Structure 1
Amino acid sequence: MNRPKHALSTLIAALTKSPRGLTAIRQLAELQKQVPSLYGLLSVNACALAATHYALAPAILTLGIPAVVISLCLIRGVHWLRLRPETLSEAQAVHHLRRTTVLTIFFSIVFVVWAMVLTGFGGPYEQGHAAIFVAVTVIACIFCLTHLPVAAFLVTGIVMSVFLFCCVTSGNKVFLAIAANTAFVTVVMVRTLNTNYRAFVDLVASQAVASRLSEENARLAQTDSLTGLPNRRYFFQKLDEAIRSPSEAGAPFALAIFDLDRFKPINDTYGHNVGDRVLAEAGRRLAEFASADVVVTRLGGDEFGVILRASEGAAAALAFCDGICTALQQPTRIGDIRVVTGCSGGLALFCKATRDADALFDRADYALYHSKEQRRGATTLFSQEHKDAIHAEQAVETALRTADLAAEMVLHYQPILDTETGRIAFVEGLARWTSPSLGQVGPDRFIAAAERCGMIHTVTLLLLRKALADGARLPPETGLSFNLSAHDLASPETVLAILAAVQGSGFDPRRLTLELTETALMRDFDHAKAAITALRSLGIKIALDDFGTGYSSLGYVHRLPLDKIKIDRSFMVDINTDRGCSLISTILDLCRNLGLDGIVEGIETQAQLDVARRHGSRYVQGYHIGRPMPLADLLQRMDHDAGAVRRRA
């Protein structure tokens, strides 16, 4: 008993299966625009046919059956009007299409049988009306079911079969002509329906392909090709979304930036291929921290960005970020090479004051800078202290931009003693700035501010010209040392301007020493080496300052044409211990072996001076030797020292 029903449902399921590239939801959405109109048309036509036969046919045919069928049509029409295809799953949409096909078959059978029964009542006009009703029903179904052709074909087949059978068996020539005409029109319309439906299927398929390509292109545009992580564009997109989310709907969040320590030396030592593999491994490790509440990205170079929910507070967010630092600090093995990179992080919590993505990013970046300067290997949380420091830095930058640098900046000179002769062998020029609005500003603050606001080249050249002019007043045997910024060395224009200033000053270039920090060399080693070569070609000497504080100083000493090494003052703290003495002695031995002058900084006591001498240090510098002082005071001291030497002689 169940076999016919099962066979029918299987047939309908097979017939209503969407072609490749066409979704049932899309079919349902298109049908929703037409099916209510179809039910409305059938209802109106049924009312008209019932009215013309009201006085001729039994009430069951003119009132009973129409009332039931029209009610069902109206119910189905309202159902289609209230349908929301976009809220349905694909399976639910398929179910709706199959039910629509079944109901279409039901209504077509009911309407055509009812119309054919009514042809037995009334005269030729009433019979003609019934024929028109059938023809209009066929046309309406074909047009309104274009996007469900199987239903349109079934309706057309059922209605036309019954209609043609009745017309042929009637023997009436007029009905035969009507049947032939209707059949011909139906064939043409069915063919048109099929063509339009194929075009619709192709259009949907091409749109689906275009959509997939667009999504793939969007994904690629937001993905870093090296690590596979989302890229900077995706990071700021998600950051904007998080900031725009209402505070009631979204939990508090934080932004973190991580930077690999000692990554550039890996590139310089092993090449970019190894560096890329280190970055790829860092990306893989970082991806393990990603979740629904954590977005991880590569911002560029060796910098990574993370957006995380901070619903458990700042302490939990900070602990999470420290975990990332720990993971990225683990050794990486690439073939026979084992490399270790550090990782430092900066964390900023979202607040009402930072409803701007750039402002929040700058806070995290400032905290990262603080980590790299003072807490390498850990994450620093942006605090009120950092906020105050930023305001102070901005005040320095503002004052620097409006300053009369030539009048406000001067140089003080700190002596460097030759322990063998007891004379001052060199003096180091140290910048001093007295701002009318800020008062005395430390060189560490205004030099950093000049670097940030792009004024460092102007400041460097101004101070160098002052130092060269002052150097002309020094005794001929006394050398002059001057510090260059990392930005100066990276600028070919500034290097050329330095050469021009030295040549135009009349000061002997062989008496001039330019001091560079390892940071200056790390910015761009190749440019730094070219700049050093150009400076030395004029006779200028080059000193590597703060030796021992970086991570790869020995590599730079070996690869660069240096003349002097200044041993950082931090080594003098442990000078009274065996370890401290060994370090100083080792570095001085290195200088002698390489033919370089070694200068020990940070001599603040007689005991430290005695130890430095004992270990072979010829040149020393520090507060015990002399504090930085104006040129006039320095010249007065040098005259005094020269007089003392003459008296001893």
Structure 2
Amino acid sequence: MIVPKIMRAFGEGIDDAALNRARYIAVSKQIPVMYSIIGVSLIAAAYTHHGVAPDYLTVYLPAAFVLMVFYRAALLWRSDIAKLSDEEIADKMVTAIKRSTVMALMFAGWELALFQYGTAYTQLHVAFFATITVLSCIACMMHLRLSSTLLALLINGPSVVFLALSDITVFNAIAINALLVTGTMLFMCFRYANDFKDLIAKQQQLQEQRSRLRSLNRQNRWLADHDSLTDLPNRRHFFSRLAESIGGDHGETRPRIVGILDLDGFKAVNDVLGHLAGDQLLADTANRLRDVLGDDAFLSRLGGDEFGLIFGSSIDAAGAVAKSNQLCEALLAAFDVKGSSVHIAATVGLASYPSAGRTGEEVYERADYALCYAKQHSKGTVVLFSEEHETIIREVSQITHQLREAELDEELSVVYQPIIDSGAGRLTAFEALARWDSPVLGRISPDTFIRTAEQAGLIGQLTTILFRKALAVAERWPEDVGLSFNLSPYDLNSFETMARLIQAVEESKVRPSRITFEITESALVQDIGRATESLEVLRNMGSSIALDDFGTGFSSLGQIQRMPVDRIKIDRSFITGIETDGAARNIVNTIIDLCRNLNLECVVEGVETREQLELLEARGCSLIQGYYFSKPLPPEEADMFLGKWVEKRKRNAG
């Protein structure tokens, strides 16, 4: 324990592991050189004293010393310092100082013994041997100040004292010279040791800084590639992995399935419970998805409530569909969000490489299309992109092109389906329905070309043309016959379209109070704030608002209560089979009661049979629209139909 204490007193920093290792590495490279110098010097001194001094001083002891120093040199030369622990390094440092002290004492004794023999020349050789050996030892051990000092004192000290006390003036001068040189070397040794210590400290600081920088870089890379809310890879990481996994010069060519999962009902949770609850729901959703997928797919959050999937190459299309169905089922279980039980669903679109596309971007776009298709036709299910969808895309592309090239004023037309008050026996309004007869493509389904126009950004232009045509026909009707006109969610979000609609009303002879604008629930779900603002403008103008296709979307009762709605239209899907389907009948009865309680008018679409009409009238619902009364009619036929109802009403009144 005494050596470590002395080392600390000398400022050796024995507790600094990095400094110890650096010193030991440096010393271990120089000690073999020092031992070699000592060995050669021993042999030379023994040779000059052979025959003058006893054999044990010139043969046996030097031989033992030489064997010892060369043996130690060989051991150090072969040692693997990198494998030594910090504790082992510290122990070896202490051992090296102890060993050098013992060796110095042995050499000092041998040196003093030799001084007793020979001539002044041989004594001068011993003094020279001591001085030069000490200088080489100091130079080789300069990283260890304590060791250098001990070597200088124990080896050179006796010879300096001996020479200084000699009666020979030359020896006195040599003593002074040796003392000065040794002192200077020790001073330089101390300076070098301090500089070395500072250098190692700075290197350690640099290493720590580099380590912190590497850690920060890793964190920055992680943050750049991951979503902070769910800890999932983010959109950037997803597309980077997609490029690595699919196609390209460096991508794989094995089949891969890419998917997009979108949550159904998430926006309602955000609106009702707040964004913090929505964040918790997203984090819990990510955990469930991770648990189900395991290592079968690369999962990421693309943004909002949308998640990306890249399935492993060992999973085929059937396996991806099965695994995606498991994801949908897992998300059906209730979530506990801020003490509330929350239910959501999920829809998944899948696409297969290379059948659906040759690049990652193409496959992703096909998966996105499959997702949109599922949202429109079978929400809450899994849809795999197929040839049928590819055909639809080509058709939509053709339709988009023709919409851009068409003379829409000439090719668009409007048909009118009457809305009858069966209780009063009166025709109350016509709903205007869009038609497009393309000279190139023929008649296109309204659902198809309206949806295509929305995606192409042309819906505002179509809405304005169709509305002006409908107003022109409505001008011919009696004042008590209204016009119902459908608006796209995109119309409600466009100030320009809303301004054109208001201008069209102002330029027509139709009073705003005769007009009812119909919107779907999707308009509420997309942007309720903007939709409410636009609907308030229409209402302030004097028009009414109807919520169309009620029951098929995801609007909440709270949203309906806040919306400026005057009328609810029950979707035809609930009327089909109402005669025999008790569940459908109960849903319709519930909506009728809702309208009555909220003081809203209720219109039933899709009535086709007398039995359906009687069931609805029995529940007090008399505003009827459907093929039971009339199919959608061209303007002239609508005028004729209206005339017949007017005559019928006059006869009944007479």
Aligned counterparts of 2:452 and 2:396: Cα–Cα separation in 1: 7
Residue identity matched to 1:193: F
- CA gap 1:133/1:318 in 2 versus in 1, 3 angstroms: farther
Aligned counterparts of 2:433 and 2:287: Cα–Cα separation in 1: 46
Q: For each residue in 1:218-250, what CA deviation from the matched residue of structure 2 results, as whole angstroms up to 9, or x when unmatched?
A: 445555444454544444444445448998989
Q: Specify which of 340, 347, 350 is matched with residue 347 of structure 1.
A: 350
Per-residue deviation, 1:192: 1.2
Q: Which position in structure 2 is the counterpart of 1:399?
A: 402
Per-residue deviation, 1:183: 1.6
Aligned counterparts of 1:226 and 1:386: Cα–Cα separation in 2: 34
- CA gap 1:245/1:470 in 2 versus in 1, 3 angstroms: closer
2:379 aligned with 1:387: no
Q: For each residue in 1:144-196, what CA deviation from the matched residue of structure 2 results, as whole angstroms up to 9, or x when unmatched?
A: xxxxx6xx558756765676458636733343333222222111111111122
Q: Which position in structure 1 is the counterpart of 2:209?
A: 206
Per-residue deviation, 1:381: 2.7
Residue identity matched to 1:619: L
2:268 aligned with 1:269: no
- Structure 1: segments with no counterpart, 5+ residues: 4-13, 86-90, 143-148
Q: Specify which of 597, 600, 613 is matched with residue 596 of structure 1.
A: 600
Per-residue deviation, 1:112: 10
Q: Which position in structure 1 is the counterpart of 2:623?
A: 619
Q: Specify which of 446, 452, 474 is matched with residue 471 of structure 1.
A: 474
Per-residue deviation, 1:534: 1.7
Aligned counterparts of 2:137 and 2:44: Cα–Cα separation in 1: 18
Q: Retained in 2: the 8 A contact 1:39–1:73?
A: no
Aligned counterparts of 1:599 and 1:409: Cα–Cα separation in 2: 27
Aligned counterparts of 2:70 and 2:606: Cα–Cα separation in 1: 105
Aligned counterparts of 2:391 and 2:125: Cα–Cα separation in 1: 97
- CA gap 1:199/1:488 in 2 versus in 1, 3 angstroms: same
- CA gap 1:353/1:53 in 2 versus in 1, 3 angstroms: farther
Q: Secondary structure at the match of 2:576?
A: helix
Aligned counterparts of 1:522 and 1:295: Cα–Cα separation in 2: 30
Aligned counterparts of 2:19 and 2:514: Cα–Cα separation in 1: 83
Q: Which position in structure 1 is the counterpart of 2:167?
A: none
Residue identity matched to 1:622: G
Q: Retained in 2: the 8 A contact 1:413–1:629?
A: yes
Q: For each residue in 1:443-497, what CA deviation from the matched residue of structure 2 results, as whole angstroms up to 9, or x when unmatched?
A: 2222222222323223322322232233323444332111111122233443333
Per-residue deviation, 1:609: 4.4
Per-residue deviation, 1:535: 0.8
- CA gap 1:330/1:102 in 2 versus in 1, 3 angstroms: same
Q: Secondary structure at the match of 2:575?
A: helix
Which stretch shifts more, 489-498 or 478-487? 489-498
Q: Specify which of 451, 455, 469 is matched with residue 452 of structure 1.
A: 455
Q: Which position in structure 2 is the counterpart of 1:7?
A: none
- CA gap 1:491/1:249 in 2 versus in 1, 3 angstroms: closer
Q: Specify which of 536, 539, 542 is matched with residue 542 of structure 2.
A: 539
Aligned counterparts of 1:411 and 1:122: Cα–Cα separation in 2: 129
Q: Retained in 1: the 8 A contact 2:351–2:384?
A: yes
2:191 aligned with 1:188: yes
Per-residue deviation, 1:536: 0.9
Aligned counterparts of 1:254 and 1:108: Cα–Cα separation in 2: 71
Q: Retained in 1: the 8 A contact 2:238–2:308?
A: yes
Once the two structures are superposed, the pairs formed by residues 492-507 of structure 1 within 5 Å of their partners are: 492-507=495-510
Q: Which position in structure 2 is the counterpart of 1:6?
A: none
Q: Secondary structure at the match of 2:552?
A: coil
Over alpha carbons, which structure has the higher Rg? 2
Per-residue deviation, 1:538: 0.9
Aligned counterparts of 1:620 and 1:372: Cα–Cα separation in 2: 29
- CA gap 1:74/1:633 in 2 versus in 1, 3 angstroms: farther
Per-residue deviation, 1:520: 0.6
Q: Which position in structure 1 is the counterpart of 2:6?
A: none
TM-score by length of 1: 0.75
Q: Specify which of 565, 570, 573 is matched with residue 573 of structure 2.
A: 570
Number of aligned residues: 610
- CA gap 1:248/1:498 in 2 versus in 1, 3 angstroms: closer
Q: Which position in structure 2 is the counterpart of 1:177?
A: 180
Q: Retained in 1: the 8 A contact 2:135–2:182?
A: no
Q: Specify which of 162, 168, 171 is matched with residue 160 of structure 2.
A: 168
Per-residue deviation, 1:544: 0.9
2:319 aligned with 1:327: no
Q: Retained in 1: the 8 A contact 2:145–2:189?
A: no
- CA gap 1:122/1:640 in 2 versus in 1, 3 angstroms: farther
Aligned counterparts of 1:17 and 1:252: Cα–Cα separation in 2: 59
Residue identity matched to 1:602: G
- Structure 2: segments with no counterpart, 5+ residues: 2-11, 51-61, 115-120, 164-173
Aligned counterparts of 2:450 and 2:544: Cα–Cα separation in 1: 23
Aligned counterparts of 1:636 and 1:270: Cα–Cα separation in 2: 53
Per-residue deviation, 1:328: 1.7
Q: For each residue in 1:289-344, what CA deviation from the matched residue of structure 2 results, as whole angstroms up to 9, or x when unmatched?
A: 46455444433333333444241322223222222222221112346532222222
Q: Which position in structure 2 is the counterpart of 1:300?
A: 303
Per-residue deviation, 1:212: 3.3
Q: Specify which of 558, 563, 568 is matched with residue 560 of structure 1.
A: 563
- CA gap 1:178/1:225 in 2 versus in 1, 3 angstroms: same
Q: Which position in structure 1 is the counterpart of 2:57?
A: none
Per-residue deviation, 1:620: 2.4
- CA gap 1:573/1:214 in 2 versus in 1, 3 angstroms: same
Q: Specify which of 626, 630, 634 is matched with residue 634 of structure 2.
A: 630
- CA gap 1:463/1:647 in 2 versus in 1, 3 angstroms: same
- CA gap 1:368/1:103 in 2 versus in 1, 3 angstroms: farther
Aligned counterparts of 2:346 and 2:543: Cα–Cα separation in 1: 37
Q: Secondary structure at the match of 2:631?
A: coil
2:552 aligned with 1:549: yes
Residue identity matched to 2:605: E
Per-residue deviation, 1:438: 3.5
TM-score by length of 2: 0.75
Q: Which position in structure 2 is the counterpart of 1:145?
A: none
- CA gap 1:475/1:386 in 2 versus in 1, 3 angstroms: same
Q: Retained in 2: the 8 A contact 1:40–1:73?
A: no
Aligned counterparts of 1:552 and 1:99: Cα–Cα separation in 2: 76
Aligned counterparts of 1:279 and 1:495: Cα–Cα separation in 2: 35
Residue identity matched to 1:486: P
2:280 aligned with 1:288: no
Q: Which position in structure 2 is the counterpart of 1:523?
A: 526
Q: Retained in 1: the 8 A contact 2:513–2:543?
A: yes
